[in-house]
Structure 1
């Protein structure tokens, strides 16, 4: 009997250890274990019971300036800024705030609260349907993603109304030369005027001014134009074929769909029957979806975007991350949720131009 009890205790201890995320956060899939401890486990529904408490409760409380701890989902030393793996509260708890005493989290919260053009929950409805993996090639959604959007927002809210004419100004094929006419530049300038007049973008401007990323209002306009609208070569040896706006907002074709991280573009293309929604890979709050879809016959394994936010909010938050956390994961808290945004700069260009930007 004693032997049986000892064996049972040993087996129980081993099994309990296998079913815990202690020391295993972020580890690659191990099919020999009964549960997993990486971000994909949410998608596949095989997280250990303590995944949320051990791995997702990402905080720097009591860890400021500690060495790298690979068992944790994020880090709390100065190197985390370069590696893009800081915990969301790193700035506020460890770095003493950014210039002017503001942190990314405090700025993001203000942007969120100032976004008066964000679409109300009563003015849109989405239908997530089936969940899929990014490697899935089947269709787990019989219906479109958007089941309703109040069309009045696209005419009554200036930044939305001025965004729509820009969506058809681009050739989505990467590798084919791109140019903009004087009429198209006029549309871009009208859109920039409207965006810069919003409280959201004024807050972004003041923060970036304090951060030393711009020198004044005229310069800030030039910064935004360079980040988003000035054309560049996506390949160092290729033609001038892309821009931050084209890639992030409109989407491009390269071995499927590249970019495409705007809910407005998604809705417009789905309404035009150019998109076949296949299901969601991930979802998070405030409403962020990683959607799988077919666009004009080309597949996007996972296209992530904020849902219902205004054009100025998307441009502001992506611009801030691109400038203060370039080529890294930009982590912060917003509206009570942990948010992570990845931005990439055009590597072969001097200065800052957005190669991509999207929520993770």
Structure 2
């Protein structure tokens, strides 16, 4: 909660559990109705000043039976001064960095990420910008991917987890036990990611922040990092059907909506199998990062996105840092290749008793 203005919370309603909800406090329904309507119809992220604090409002819409309807509203605090970037004929407003040590880390990670795709290896067709309503079917988001990239160890190990379908997408169905080949494949990609220079830099940053259990890397990996990503919990009041890894990398299905799925490699592999229907973009910064709308396995992702110009281990490392050090909400700000980025993340206690789990983490 922030000074009686907004509150972030988790709650259960019926058979569903919401892990990432925020709403305004001490405002009238008429004020909220007007603010959410403006955000939805103009497809902007308006900032309103409440008691001296700047609050950002994001409203996603869907088209149902030919009518545009409000789908989801997100409330977040503005951090620092706003900076405006322009790309491909459109503009977006983002926050600037507020942590010099974090920016130094990101710069170092970017420079040592030899596995990130070059501009020639991955090209995207962003298509049509969605303006105030749901988009319509476009061509594929990924126009071309040089798959020799996937011979690199971190990609090869990640693809093994996708090819073997190690997760049950439906959040209301319990995940399989962490044993046998399932544990073997996930342990392999975990080890691959944590053996990269990007993660080594991230771990040094966590040690400098005096984060718990960082005196020894193996202890940190087993006590903090593994539960963070692979500890299980419920999003459906009962079944331990979710984990941070499944949510962020593999993607989940909750009712008729795609939940999570913030890895470009996963999106591309599903696109190759004709399981992705791309509907257009909301924002993008060249081919580094974007937000867009799509359908997967018949479910809708009203507004989602991910880095498109980084390696998965880079994403894993920076998302871990943001979730562990920068708290719940959109509080992690930095620049990548001169573009301002905000990572939003939420933590919760694991339902299996293993420790603290990642509810979500995504860049925007």
In which range does the TM-score fall when normalised by the shorter chain? 0.7 to 0.9
Corresponding position: 1:174 with 2:175? no
**SS of residue paired to 1:186:** helix
Shift of 1:233: 2.4
Corresponding position: 1:91 with 2:93? no
Corresponding position: 1:206 with 2:204? yes
Shift of 1:154: 1.1
CA distance in 2, matches of 1:108, 1:264: 21
CA offsets 1:296-352 (integer angstroms, 9 cap, x no match): 111111111000311110100100000011212111233222110100112676742
Under a length normalisation based on structure 2, what TM-score does the superposition of the two structures give? 0.71
CA distance in 2, matches of 1:195, 1:215: 19
Shift of 1:84: 5.6
CA distance in 1, matches of 2:132, 2:244: 24
2:11: which partner in 1? none
Q: 1:284 to 1:39 in 2, by over 3 A?
A: farther
CA offsets 1:248-295 (integer angstroms, 9 cap, x no match): 111111131111111000000001000111111221257111121110
Paired residue for 1:354, among 343, 354, 358? 358
**SS of residue paired to 1:166:** helix
CA distance in 2, matches of 1:318, 1:71: 25
Q: 1:71 to 1:261 in 2, by over 3 A?
A: closer
2:17: which partner in 1? none
Question: What RMSD in Å do the two structures reach over aligned CA positions?
Answer: 2.8
**SS of residue paired to 1:265:** helix
2:59: which partner in 1? none
> What are the equivalent positions in structure 2 for 1:6-155 lying under 5 Å apart?
28=35, 69-70=52-53, 85-87=78-80, 88-92=96-100, 103-133=101-131, 135-136=133-134, 138-141=135-138, 143-155=139-151
CA distance in 2, matches of 1:290, 1:118: 19
Shift of 1:192: 1.9
Q: Decide which structure has greater strand share.
A: 2
Corresponding position: 1:297 with 2:298? yes
CA offsets 1:102-127 (integer angstroms, 9 cap, x no match): x2111111111111100011111100
**SS of residue paired to 2:115:** coil
CA distance in 1, matches of 2:297, 2:312: 24
1:288: which partner in 2? 289
2:62: which partner in 1? none
CA distance in 2, matches of 1:309, 1:283: 14
1:95: which partner in 2? none
Contact 1:228 1:245 in 2 (8 A): yes
1:308: which partner in 2? 309
CA distance in 1, matches of 2:298, 2:37: 35
2:16: which partner in 1? none
CA distance in 2, matches of 1:186, 1:347: 24
Contact 2:293 2:302 in 1 (8 A): yes
How many equivalent pairs are there? Answer: 286
> In terms of Rg, which structure is larger?
1
Q: 1:134 to 1:201 in 2, by over 3 A?
A: farther
2:4: which partner in 1? none
2:25: which partner in 1? none
Shift of 1:29: 7.0
1:160: which partner in 2? 155
Q: Structure 1: any 5+ residue segments left out of the alignment? A: 1-26, 32-37, 56-66, 74-82, 93-102
CA distance in 1, matches of 2:51, 2:156: 47
Under a length normalisation based on structure 1, what TM-score does the superposition of the two structures give? 0.72
